Structure 1
Amino acid sequence: MKAAIQLTGVSKVYKDKKAVDNLTLSIAEGTVVALLGPNGAGKTTTVSMILGLHKPTQGTVKLLGGDPGDVRVRDRIGAMLQEVSVIDGLKVSESINLFRSYYEKPLPLNYLLKVSNLEAEKDKMASSLSGGQQRRLGFALALAGDPEVLFLDEPTVGMDVTSRQLFWDTVRAMAGKGRTIVLTTHYLDEADSVADRIVVINNGKIIADGTPGEIKSETTGRVVSFVAGPTVTSDALYRLPGVTDVEWSGRHVKVFSNDSDRLIRALVEGKFEMRDIEIHSGGLEDAFQALVQQAN
């Protein structure tokens, strides 16, 4: 598949800190990719370089085959960044129309108001919107030019449940039409449900890259969870075969294992006090935490 985004040997240094470290990454057209990582991992810096907002200290960045700063490339992309700013003195509909005027083939105003759930606010001053409404306005502005590549940096922060659901429905519809979408989010359940591919960055380097299913299965294996009796201890659980991690929440315990069948047999044979037993694959959040801990 043709690459919509190509980073080759990219590094970014601020004074004595290397925010991105020799990163090579190719993102195919028509895919949804989630860039995940702890705060300060280099995600936002990477997105900023892809957008042409910052130049790499070394390496090359290609966006839709060209220079991210080229106006012909910019006409084909949209971005919703973390920092929300509105233009004073303009209504919601006027703000959207202003951004529509920047593009050759903009999406209709009514459509943008609908997918951002701002139809009732179209005649309000943009500066009077709540934080969540301003995020939704930012989404409308990012979509204004019907972009081939859409960047979403922590997009649903401050959105209510209804707006968040509409937002992801719209993103999935765009992905279904072959758009390339790159997102960062701390809501890992959202990344798990919408992304084709997960790229985990830590200390400016890629530490994992695969489908959500691959990331989860390779990192966490299976999880046996149960409510433990008072005699059950972490030390006893760690001595069981195949146990890789133990997490407690009150008396509810999650035991991570690369062989859940063997673990269950050992728990039963060891006569551990337990009830409400469940066996399931580790979630993306479990995998993410394990990856970051292993890398540090």
Structure 2
Amino acid sequence: MEVIVEMNQISKSFKEKKAVDHISFNIHKGSIVAILGPNGAGKTTTLSMMLGMLEPTQGTVKIFGQHPKDIKVREKIGAMLQQVSVIDRLKVREVIELFRSYYPNPMEMEFLINLTGLTPSDLNRYAEKLSGGQKRCLSFALALAGNPELLFLDEPTVGLDTTARRKFWASIRELSKQGKTVVFTTHYLQEADDAADRILLISQGALVADGTPEEIKSRIVKRSLSFLSDQDSPEFRQRLIALPSIAECYDKDGRICVTTDNTDSVLAAIFTGGLPVRDVRIDQGRLDEAFEQLTQNHEEAV
């Protein structure tokens, strides 16, 4: 599979503070990659080095096999950053056409408009008159103007309502189907869980986890399983607690729940012991739980 982004032992220091500490990873063509981490973890710094906006203190960054500032690289990438700046006294359509003119093979205007959800009235409005959400849509359109093969998105859905967010991620999936590569940061962990096929989790400048959302969630120490029982009683609960690997037992949403670090062994013990349970569900955990555990464990190790 073609490698689009190569980060090799990247570090970045600002005076005495090391914002990024020896990070290495590759990103392949057509993938959707989320970079996650707490505030100040080094996400935006990492993104900025991939864009060529910052030079690493140590290590090498290559985009399409070249330095990020190479003109041929610039023609193949698009970026939507947190701060949205617009050109005063130009209408939205004029701003988009201006940006399209900067590239040798710009995205078709009609396709671009359909992807970004801008309406005909939006296109005829002066850019500075747009609402916050509309400016985010315009920023997305400008990132797509050059028909990029690689798209960088820094907190792309901040300020968007639920409908606009749904439209945005549908567009990202459409771009991925065309073979375009997407790298994004977000504080909305559910978005990363739903949209990304790979997550890079950064804590205190270090890469602490790298895998699919399911792989990241599978690293949660405690999982839970829940069920119903027609013979629930104090004796039944005591039998449950006595089973190996069960940490606690509690009620939630009308169901009996137990936490464990080994759901397989608990299920085997329940059925071997003949406990009267039905409608069993296994909760492998949420991404926010994995995020909290992995970053906390890294901080304690440091």
TM-score range, shorter chain: 0.7 to 0.9
Partners in 1 of 2:55 and 2:27 — Cα distance?
19
Distance 1:55 1:131, change over 3 A: same
Distance 1:106 1:46, change over 3 A: same
TM-aligned CA deviation for residue 97 of structure 1: 0.8
2:50 matches 1:47: no
TM-aligned CA deviation for residue 110 of structure 1: 2.5
In structure 2, the partner of 1:234 is none
In structure 2, the partner of 1:139 is 140
In structure 1, the partner of 2:81 is 81
Candidates 289, 292, 296, aligned match of 2:295: 292
2:191 matches 1:190: yes
- The TM-score with structure 1 as length reference comes to 0.86
TM-aligned CA deviation for residue 258 of structure 1: 1.8
In structure 2, the partner of 1:58 is 58
Q: Which moved more, 1:204-213 or 1:111-120?
A: 111-120
Q: Which moved more, 1:104-113 or 1:172-181?
A: 104-113
CA RMSD of aligned residues (A): 3.1
Task: Give the conservation status (yes or no) of the 8 Å contact 1:35–1:43.
Answer: yes
Instruction: Give the 3-state SS of the residue equivalent to 1:219 in structure 2.
Output: coil
1:239-263 Cα distance to aligned partner (Å, 9 max, x none): 9853579999999997542223655
TM-aligned CA deviation for residue 279 of structure 1: 3.2
- The TM-score with structure 2 as length reference comes to 0.84
TM-aligned CA deviation for residue 107 of structure 1: 1.1
Partners in 1 of 2:250 and 2:97 — Cα distance?
51
In structure 2, the partner of 1:22 is 22
1:204-249 Cα distance to aligned partner (Å, 9 max, x none): 11101111111111225632369xxxx9xxxxx9998535799999
1:131-154 Cα distance to aligned partner (Å, 9 max, x none): 111111110010111110001111
Structure 1: any 5+ residue segments left out of the alignment?
232-236
* Rg larger in structure: 2
2:110 matches 1:107: no
Instruction: Give the 3-state SS of the residue equivalent to 2:86 in structure 1.
Output: coil
Q: Which moved more, 1:186-195 or 1:73-82?
A: 186-195
Task: Give the conservation status (yes or no) of the 8 Å contact 1:93–1:109.
Answer: no
Partners in 1 of 2:222 and 2:285 — Cα distance?
6
Letter in 1 for 2:298: A
In structure 2, the partner of 1:153 is 154
Distance 1:44 1:256, change over 3 A: farther
User: Percent of aligned pairs with the same residue?
Assistant: 50
In structure 2, the partner of 1:32 is 32
TM-aligned CA deviation for residue 14 of structure 1: 0.5
Matches within 5 A, 1:224-263: 224=225, 241-242=244-245, 256-260=259-263
TM-aligned CA deviation for residue 86 of structure 1: 0.9
Letter in 1 for 2:201: V
Candidates 259, 271, 285, aligned match of 1:282: 285
Partners in 1 of 2:52 and 2:176 — Cα distance?
23
Partners in 1 of 2:52 and 2:210 — Cα distance?
24
Structure 2: any 5+ residue segments left out of the alignment?
228-233, 235-239
Distance 1:55 1:38, change over 3 A: same
Task: Give the conservation status (yes or no) of the 8 Å contact 1:113–1:122.
Answer: no
